[in-house]
Structure 1
């Protein structure tokens, strides 16, 4: 056969690269239930669509060149549901997927191609951090900072990160910059490993406490969704991307509406208690006004008094920001403020209209809130909301008190404000208002207290708001989905692309 020598060499080197860190390490992963870097791509991408970039890359130092197939990061392009994506999958079987001079070039090339060609970028993280020999001394310093845009997050295309093992160094950085992060239980994410941290602070450090899933899903809010297996994480990534466009210059794909989606109106009344002080889970209402099985919650364990998530209404992708009285009575705490602001950044960056579902008694105030910068968080939210250019529709279901009325899209902070007849507007709870205005408690004079309370409630009703044209419509709660469908068609037209003023908003703050 012609060219048998070069072709045999290609075959041999390809087999070397596909062997990754060797059968012993791959077998150990199989036994532990962890997929390897290439198996993850087989599940994530459409079958047969992967085009690899840099299969024959090797570590730059002589002592590592012979044991670094693909230099520990499997990179390239493929499709998800027929749409192009760019991927970097860390191969922990090769020197712990440590970051090096050469695989850093691979990441840069894939990232630049994704940005310039309008593709989502997906990082499948598992990394020991920097490869120390490459990073030591002056030569190691020269590796850093050669790409001035390495940490620029301009949100021209969606970035997604999966934390699927021990993630330190670049795996951590890219997760913190991503639009969406999913974490497998048992994985960790931190600046450095627990071993390195223990040495640095001369104290034993538990890996889970340092950077486990509970920390990042419940305390830091850096993780959006937690899963049990690699397979679940990869399926979650596919689902997340289905709500987003491939790049900021196009609209999200519109999907078929599942049968039965328009038959859920009565479920709204079933979910909403008749008592204005009774709590409920707003997610039941979200599911009753969105397309069947389309609600995809983000940061469910963090800032629980606000529920955020992607969904579809009449096939359109929408973002939902909803007060959830099940937690803290719906009072908006510091974590909920951060959660709502970051979610608005996501929606505005990728042309996803926002629906506010409002039932909040105001911000959770107190010494701890002030120490955690509550006024700044509130104004961060308002600043971001003022820059949001995608259509915003606010539905006032029950309470909407104080400054938070504006944060939840009240007044001109939404393009359309709807109210249910159950809406309760005011600065504070009416009973507290009687006490504040008249220095009167019910036990002091029940008859006078009830009369004053009735006056305040009437002035704070949906009808009072409608008379001032501060709400464009008062609707039967059962007609919410129908009304939203009509308004989305009005405001999205043939295809809405926003101004993206939030594209450079900090990824965490």
Structure 2
């Protein structure tokens, strides 16, 4: 919502410029003068090699997309997750990115709901999805569990796995646990069409260092340290290079090639057609 009626109308016009007229049409293609191979080498200055350092994912997004322009959805809600419309080589794309600058990009229920709703819109209007992933595990603790964090993640998985749109994932640094490995496109078996990883990317089913320093009741300090050491060993097994051989990712790419790789991937799967088993009602029953 804008501060004035005029600003609200202009924002609405901008939003509609990304959407097709109806669900049977493709999103509008806008002529772009932004070079596909534009130099984005400074992206490595934005994203630190040190995993415990944060950065604002908005800076990465604006460097990658056409003319640095995005239309962010719910920008004041669940800021640890960015959902926005943007363009790559003139093609409308829905981009979902974890934001390490906010709560370490750790997922919680509000972020899951934000993602779930945005993904539904993308699938309804035939808009490709691009994920930029750099996320730790989901928030631990009884509060989130009691509120149904796993159920909210399950709703995302339901829509993601059954969506018919192109799905491209870029792993920048970390893809941990359910958040990074599943709902952000880090697992090909969930339906991700193409998954790329930077050389510094690392994967795991669980967080490596548990940066949130959760102290579990009933666990002795020495036992907790041993758990962390074993967890780190699992990370070492699933680094980007070895993951490529295991087909977790399609290719390990240089950060400076990210924009070009996304555009080439979109062109490759633009005419993708996914056949689904026949069913009487054309919808799934998502977890409640």
The two structures have a TM-score, normalised by structure 2, of 0.85
Alpha-carbon contact 1:358-1:394 (below 8 Å) kept = yes
**Correspondence for 1:306:** 81
How is 1:18-417 mapped onto 2 (pairs within 5 angstroms)?
Answer: 183=1, 227-259=2-34, 262-404=37-179, 405-411=181-187, 412-413=189-190, 414-417=192-195
Distance 1:431 1:302, change over 3 A: closer
Runs of at least 5 residues in structure 2 that lack an aligned partner in the other structure: 212-218
Distance 1:263 1:425, change over 3 A: same
Runs of at least 5 residues in structure 1 that lack an aligned partner in the other structure: 1-182, 184-226, 443-448
1:478 aligns to 2:253 (yes or no): no
CA distance in structure 2 between the partners assigned to 1:432 and 1:333 by the alignment: 15
Aligned-residue offset at 1:261: 6.5
CA distance in structure 1 between the partners assigned to 2:242 and 2:275 by the alignment: 34
Alpha-carbon contact 1:356-1:395 (below 8 Å) kept = yes
Alpha-carbon contact 2:137-2:207 (below 8 Å) kept = no
Alpha-carbon contact 1:276-1:398 (below 8 Å) kept = yes
Distance 1:459 1:249, change over 3 A: same
CA RMSD of aligned residues (A): 2.8
TM-superposition CA deviations, 1:455-495 (whole Å, max 9, x none): 444312101211101110000011011011111111003xx
CA distance in structure 1 between the partners assigned to 2:39 and 2:283 by the alignment: 39
CA distance in structure 2 between the partners assigned to 1:408 and 1:300 by the alignment: 19
**Correspondence for 1:463:** 241
Aligned-residue offset at 1:290: 0.9
SS of the equivalent of 2:256 reads helix
Distance 1:477 1:289, change over 3 A: same
Aligned-residue offset at 1:279: 0.6
SS of the equivalent of 2:172 reads strand
Larger-Rg structure? 1
Distance 1:278 1:257, change over 3 A: same
CA distance in structure 1 between the partners assigned to 2:86 and 2:61 by the alignment: 9
SS of the equivalent of 1:274 reads coil
SS of the equivalent of 2:42 reads helix
Distance 1:504 1:468, change over 3 A: closer
Between the two structures, name the one with larger relative contact order (CA 8 Å, sep ≥ 6): 2
Distance 1:309 1:326, change over 3 A: same
Aligned-residue offset at 1:426: 1.0
- The correspondence for 2:268, drawn from 490, 496, 504, is 490
CA distance in structure 1 between the partners assigned to 2:119 and 2:178 by the alignment: 18
Aligned-residue offset at 1:270: 2.0
Alpha-carbon contact 2:206-2:231 (below 8 Å) kept = no
CA distance in structure 1 between the partners assigned to 2:25 and 2:97 by the alignment: 26
**The structure with more helix, counted as a fraction of residues:** 1
Alpha-carbon contact 2:177-2:206 (below 8 Å) kept = yes
CA distance in structure 2 between the partners assigned to 1:440 and 1:374 by the alignment: 24
CA distance in structure 1 between the partners assigned to 2:156 and 2:149 by the alignment: 11
Alpha-carbon contact 1:289-1:481 (below 8 Å) kept = yes
SS of the equivalent of 1:238 reads helix
CA distance in structure 2 between the partners assigned to 1:336 and 1:323 by the alignment: 9
